Amino acid sequence: MLAISREQLLILCYSLLVSVDAQDVVQPRIIGGQVSDIKYEKYLMLVTTSTEVCGGSLIKPLWVITAAHCVRNVKKEDLRIYGGASNQEGPHAILRYVDLIVIRPDFNMNTLNMDVAALRLTSQMVGANVETIELASQVVPPRVLVKVSGWGSTKSGSSVAVKRVHTVWVPMWSMSSCRSIYYGIHRITRSMTCAAKPYRKDACDGDSGGPLVYNGQLAGIVSFGYGCATRLPGVYTSVPQIRNWFLNIVKEHTPSASSNNSS
């Protein structure tokens, strides 16, 4: 999750916009959660560069969805995608490389609107503990519990990601409640959705790009927050708002079986 410091918050109160660089504020976090096992989160992917750790979700065997701010200004050659293991890059982790990065063209780093990217793998991600997850087409109703998973830090203020996957259950917020509590701090757009149990349970540093799951479907993508488990809820990219875009990218950029056979 991309987190914002107190100093940046003061700037935001003046400008009503986020104006910080992703490389300075990206954080990983599962606060108030518990250790899990990849067999319960088979869609969960670890997205890494030499300096950053993010999460992602496997939508098709060749395609991972993550947050745009995780891969902004990143070369595809520098990305590593790990799946199928509870421990970060452990001996059972399946490694795949990326040959295409597609960031939604209307992604805005200042507002974090449309914070989503599609990653095409060089070969299919398959394994005993690997499964795809469907993209939700309907917005999750408020107050229901949703599941967030990742390798992010488990303590607010910590920049150290954990080695084993963690999971937390948090309640969804209504759009009106989220906009109200963020009023004068950050503009909550239609592409965003909010979830957290204030002061107790939230996503955190290093969880950026990871999954928010409801009824076995991907409903949100970890985007940003103001600290971890504060009074402000975590903000996620709303999957129903970007679903058609992602599926169109997959359709447009997935090699056909005939082209593979002829090559």
Q: If you count DSSP H runs as helices and E runs as strands, how many of each does the chain have, helices first?
A: 6, 18
Closest residue by Cα to residue 28 from 243, 203, 250: 203
End-to-end CA distance of the chain: give it in Å, rounded. Answer: 40
d(CA 144, CA 21): 33
| DSSP-derived 3-state class of residue 173 | coil
Instruction: List, in sequence order, every beta strand (DSSP E) within the chain.
Output: 2-3, 28-31, 34-35, 44-48, 53-60, 63-66, 80-83, 94-96, 98-103, 117-121, 134-135, 145-150, 166-171, 192-195, 202-205, 211-214, 217-225, 234-238
Any idea which residues carry the catalytic annotation?
Answer: 69, 115, 208
Closest residue by Cα to residue 148 from 118, 172, 177, 180: 172
| Residue 257: both structure tokens together | 């079986």
